[in-house]
Amino acid sequence: MPETLVLMEGIEKSFPGVHALSQCRFDLRPGEVHALVGENGAGKSTLMKVLTGIYPKDAGRIFYKGTEVEVPNPRAALNLGISMIHQELNLMPHLTVAQNIFIGREPRKGNFLLDEKAINEKTQQLLNMMHLKLDPRSKVANLTVAMQQMVEIAKALSLNAEVLIMDEPTAALTDTEIEELFRIIRQLRDRGAGIIHISHRLEELKQISDRITVMRDGRYIDTVPTQEVTIDRIISMMVGRTIYESAPEVPENPSQEAVLEVKNLNRGNAIKNVSFNLKKGEILGFSGLVGAGRTEVARAIFGADSADSGEIYIEGQKVRIKSPTDAVKYGIGYLSEDRKRYGLALGLDVETNIVLATLKKFLGFLGWVNQGGTRTTAEHFVSALAIKTPGLQQRVKNLSGGNQQKVVIGKWLTRDCNILIFDEPTRGIDVGAKSEIYRLLNDLAQQGKSIIMISSELPEILRMSHRIIVMCEGRITGELSSAEATQEKIMTYATQRGEATLITASGSA
């Protein structure tokens, strides 16, 4: 076995206005999980995109198993045995799981006919190996983000990659699913593959990684064996300063006035008789496993999906919300979990994205856009959320994943909604920015806005919520006040019906 699989040295990469990588290095050994960490915009994804031939490097050298190589395009990387699962998933929503896995290299019958049976069978084998209960013939569009992630992993496995790069694979997964993913990662590692694991969930590094490389502001900081460092040390290397995670005070006794009441909401198998209310100034946490129905409830309230039955009251008035436009009219905002699909106009710039939703507010006499107004608003949110961008005119698709995320948050904040639904608001957000977002949510609640926060991270739910609703298999299985809530109680409710509904990890139940 070679001593190193990958060695990158002196890597330089600039984009217009951004020196994204400067003198970066990285090395990967066979049979190790090597974590790559750093704040949003530190250059982690860019470095890996250089390795996989997505971006050409400006300078530097790449060695693969001791031989210097050029990686001019992604195909070249695949041929070497390097596979990358991207932060923004790259699946074709209208194709099936199997078609996505074998896209571009489908076995064919004769010369043209796609051999559906063969790819379904091969996919089934992969899914069995991963212990995933998922039909190879399901359309990817109908899968949750977590399941799409699993499909990406299956795809990389099918390519027999020796180097597997995972850019925030766990961001969208719940604890059980992460366990399952780690089992698969360890299996690959034990077979001698090298795995590069990018994550903002620092606690998990201890569990899964052998070494950790830290980047900051496009620079290489250090590589350390995981056993020899503390998480606090990693954090200070990442941010270059010490941050104090002061737990924001959950203000006592939010008003008893219900701004939103949901009664007996039903939708197919996804939502079963859901009733709850949301009080003025309250942060109501929604916890549960992925697939528990939390996003479905949010979408039904927002009018993105229509409910089969049920009633919604806003400030005591019964309302009919048939579309997101209706919802916005009633002062409801929804930050969806799948931002690429619903949240952003990736081709447009930061300013336009932040103010897009509110453009009307800036329409002055005869519809002239009041440019000064949009600029001030956008500037305000870029600085309030610490969005890392060379300017307001930067296209959102050029921002790092975490910074794109902050743009979506900014976009909804400009709308002045009374009821805000945040679906996984801190997914993919670094430690420092997370506390900023927590502070922001607290401020909003204190201003009298009411917030539903869906989150798969238990510490976040416990820390932020006045009250917690737990769902399992489409039903509300429990409600806890902030005083009585513990991780154990939440998990008990979250698994009330046995196992997770959609992705069942048969090995881990």
Ligand X SMILES: Nc1ncnc2c1ncn2[C@@H]1O[C@H](COP(=O)(O)OP(=O)(O)OP(=O)(O)O)[C@@H](O)[C@H]1O
Least separation in angstroms between residue 497's CB and Mg ion is 35
Least separation in angstroms between residue 217's CB and Mg ion is 14
Q: Which is nearer to Mg ion, 287 or 400 (CB)?
A: 400
Question: Are 36 and 26 a contacting pair, CB within 8 Å?
Answer: yes
Q: Which is nearer to Mg ion, 134 or 212 (CB)?
A: 212
Sign of the Cα torsion 365, 371, 373, 374 reads positive
Least separation in angstroms between residue 390's CB and Mg ion is 17
Q: Which is nearer to Mg ion, 136 or 401 (CB)?
A: 401
Least separation in angstroms between residue 52's CB and ligand X is 13
Q: Rounded to the nearest 10 degrees, how much is the dihedral formed by the CA atoms of 221, 226, 227, 230?
A: 60
Calculate the alpha carbon distances from 267 to 136, 274, 292, 293 in Å.
25, 10, 13, 10
The verdict on 45 binding Mg ion (CB under 5 A) reads: yes
Q: Which is nearer to Mg ion, 204 or 261 (CB)?
A: 204
Question: Are 508 and 179 a contacting pair, CB within 8 Å?
Answer: yes
Q: Which does 42 bind (CB under 5 to 8 A by kind): ligand X, Mg ion, none?
A: ligand X
Calculate the alpha carbon distances from 338 to 69, 88, 111, 180, 367 in Å.
36, 9, 38, 22, 32
The beta strand positions in 268-361, using DSSP E, are: 271-279, 283-288, 309-314, 317-319, 332-335
The verdict on 43 binding Mg ion (CB under 5 A) reads: no
Q: Which does 492 bind (CB under 5 to 8 A by kind): Mg ion, ligand X, none?
A: none
Least separation in angstroms between residue 220's CB and ligand X is 12
Closest of 170, 3, 158 to residue 78, by C-alpha: 158
Q: Which does 399 bind (CB under 5 to 8 A by kind): ligand X, Mg ion, none?
A: ligand X
Query: Interacting stretch for Mg ion, rule CB under 5 A, among 63-71, 299-307, 369-377, 393-401?
Result: 393-401
Give the C-alpha separation, 79 to 64, whole Å.
12
Query: Interacting stretch for Mg ion, rule CB under 5 A, among 37-45, 62-70, 343-351, 415-423?
Result: 37-45
Half-sphere exposure of 316 toward its Cβ, with a 13 Å CA cutoff? 2
Least separation in angstroms between residue 88's CB and Mg ion is 9
Quickly tell me which residue has 């959320």 as its tokens.
Answer: 385
Least separation in angstroms between residue 40's CB and Mg ion is 7
Q: Which is nearer to Mg ion, 45 or 52 (CB)?
A: 45
Quickly tell me which residue has 């400067």 as its tokens.
Answer: 22
The verdict on 401 binding Mg ion (CB under 5 A) reads: yes
Q: What are phi and psi of 334, to 5 degrees?
A: -135, 115
Calculate the alpha carbon distances from 450 to 102, 157, 401, 447 in Å.
45, 44, 27, 9
For residue 433, give both structure tokens. 């920015």
Least separation in angstroms between residue 45's CB and Mg ion is 3
Q: Which is nearer to ligand X, 421 or 437 (CB)?
A: 437
Least separation in angstroms between residue 199's CB and ligand X is 9
Q: Which does 20 bind (CB under 5 to 8 A by kind): Mg ion, ligand X, none?
A: ligand X
Build a one-symbol-per-residue string for 74-113: x at contacts with Mg ion by CB under 5 A, - elsewhere.
-------------x--------------------------
Q: Which is nearer to Mg ion, 221 or 250 (CB)?
A: 221
Query: Interacting stretch for Mg ion, rule CB under 5 A, among 39-47, 132-140, 329-337, 452-460?
Result: 39-47
Give the C-alpha separation, 133 to 343, whole Å.
29
Q: Which is nearer to Mg ion, 36 or 101 (CB)?
A: 36
Select the residue whose beta carbon is closest to Mg ion and give its number: 45
Give the C-alpha separation, 220 to 238, whole Å.
10
Q: Which does 40 bind (CB under 5 to 8 A by kind): ligand X, Mg ion, none?
A: ligand X
Q: Which is nearer to Mg ion, 283 or 431 (CB)?
A: 431
Select the residue whose beta carbon is closest to ligand X and give its number: 402
Q: Which is nearer to Mg ion, 45 or 435 (CB)?
A: 45
Calculate the alpha carbon distances from 376 to 286, 363, 381, 392, 423 in Å.
34, 15, 9, 10, 27
Query: Interacting stretch for Mg ion, rule CB under 5 A, among 42-50, 226-234, 336-344, 355-363?
Result: 42-50
# residues near Mg ion by CB under 5 A: 4
Least separation in angstroms between residue 204's CB and Mg ion is 16
Q: Which does 18 bind (CB under 5 to 8 A by kind): ligand X, Mg ion, none?
A: ligand X
Cα distance from N-terminal residue to C-terminal residue, the chain: 36
The beta strand positions in 280-350, using DSSP E, are: 283-288, 309-314, 317-319, 332-335
Q: Which is nearer to ligand X, 40 or 336 (CB)?
A: 40
Residues of the shown chain interacting with ligand X in the complex, contacts defined by CB under 6 A: 15, 18, 20, 38, 40-46, 87, 388, 398-403, 430
For residue 193, give both structure tokens. 């593959």
Least separation in angstroms between residue 136's CB and ligand X is 30
Half-sphere exposure of 492 toward its Cβ, with a 13 Å CA cutoff? 8
Segment (H or E) for 8 = strand 6-15
Closest of 420, 243, 256, 409 to residue 332, by C-alpha: 420
Least separation in angstroms between residue 109's CB and ligand X is 40
Under the rule (CB under 5 A), what is the footprint of Mg ion? 45, 87, 400-401
